[in-house]
Amino acid sequence: MPTTKLARLALEDGTVFHGRAFGGSLKDFEGAGEVVFNTAMCGYQEALTDLSYTGQILTMTATEMGNYGVAPEDIESAAPCVAGFVVRELSAIVSNQRATRSLSDWLADAGIPAIEGIDTRALVRRLRMGGSMRGVISSVSLADASDLDLVARARAIPSMAGANLAAKVSPRCSGTYEEALGEWAPRGGMFVETKPTPKGRAPGSRFRVAAIDCGAKRNIYRHLVERNCDVHFLPHTATAADIRALQPDGLFISNGPGDPAVVKTVIETLREVAGEVPTFGICLGHQLLALALGATTWKLKFGHRGANQPVRNLLTGRIEITSQNHGFCVDETSLRAAGGEPTHVHLNDGTLAGFRHTTKPIFSVQYHPEASPGPHDSAYLFDVFVEMMSSRKPVGAAEMERAQAALAAI
């Protein structure tokens, strides 16, 4: 049940919202980070465990959260990773036969501070007008910390620009991921059921994918496993020699948090190996590939976060509704100068949402084709990656159209 313990959310612009505390711990709590918002109607559990939100206080724009509780099967990493959570209303009822506990109890065990009962519409308007801001969630009493004290603490938080958070969440050692989509697997498509074999290897062989893990969502790996791939994930410190030692059929670079321009270890490695084998990047991986080629990135005003982001595939003309979570963007002009060609564009603001290299087997997207929960319009991109590993050729319009049409026919 929601508590009556008071809490506050203070922004660096001096705004302070007063509400009620939940999550956190039994004692007074305080959490600090960049305040961002997500427009998805559901999926709070997947968002809270998306490592791309590390260092951020997440606000959900939908009115009520927690109504279907928490189910262990739906998490995207080991535990909630946000710096704080903000909702308009926390449901007092958990109505879902799959749930094992309430949202509040789950956050409390993880030590994640959360606040409910504030006007999230007003908060989101402020973030849209002023951009993402640093903020503090606190349940400390006014006697111990005034509103001005909390605002000062918010202003002292390091900026997300220049923050190498991928180094914080990347696995410390390499390993394999073996779980497939299971009952959630789509029926149909190009490679989900046909299970192709890599060229030059024995029938039944699987594609070997080396994945540079900067904070990957589990469902990305599930999609690859479902498509007959053996996923070998590596820490962000992996060298070109580490990748080549696996003799992979393909290279994948994952999503993750923070400023892509400062993840130097991955950028340097990709400069050496990207394109030696078919290479695919998602979100932060998209940005890192662009940087490795010589492009630049810039910080968006308030980012793209939600399960309803429209994207046009420039190679096929089809529109995709996508799930996105990012605060940085690749500069299109610098990308073209580096040999990249835009393949997808965000229809809300015209920013770059995907690209391919004109001569090397490299492509990437800024959004999440594995979205769970969320739209499945972009799941064909995993099929494109598999086809690229089969042909070892750069991705083209024909491959995109064939994979997208197969998905649409399901």
Question: Can you state the percent helix, strand and coil of the chain, rounding each to 5?
Answer: 30, 30, 45
Residue 405 one-letter amino acid: A
* Cis peptide preceding 257, ω within 30 of 0: no
Residue 121 three-state SS: helix
Backbone angles phi, psi at 291, to 5 degrees: -65, -40
Q: Catalytic positions, please?
A: 283, 368, 370
Residue 66 one-letter amino acid: G
Parallel/antiparallel/unpaired status of strands 84-86 and 113-116: parallel
Q: Kindly list the distances between the CA atom of residue 166 and the CA atoms of 4, 48, 279, in Å, as whole numbers in the listed order.
A: 36, 17, 19
Q: Give the bridge partners for 177, in sequence order.
A: 231
CB-based contacts of 383, cutoff 8 Å, min separation 6: 189, 190, 191, 192, 227, 403, 406, 407
Please report where in the chains the tokens 């559901």 appear, as a residue: 42
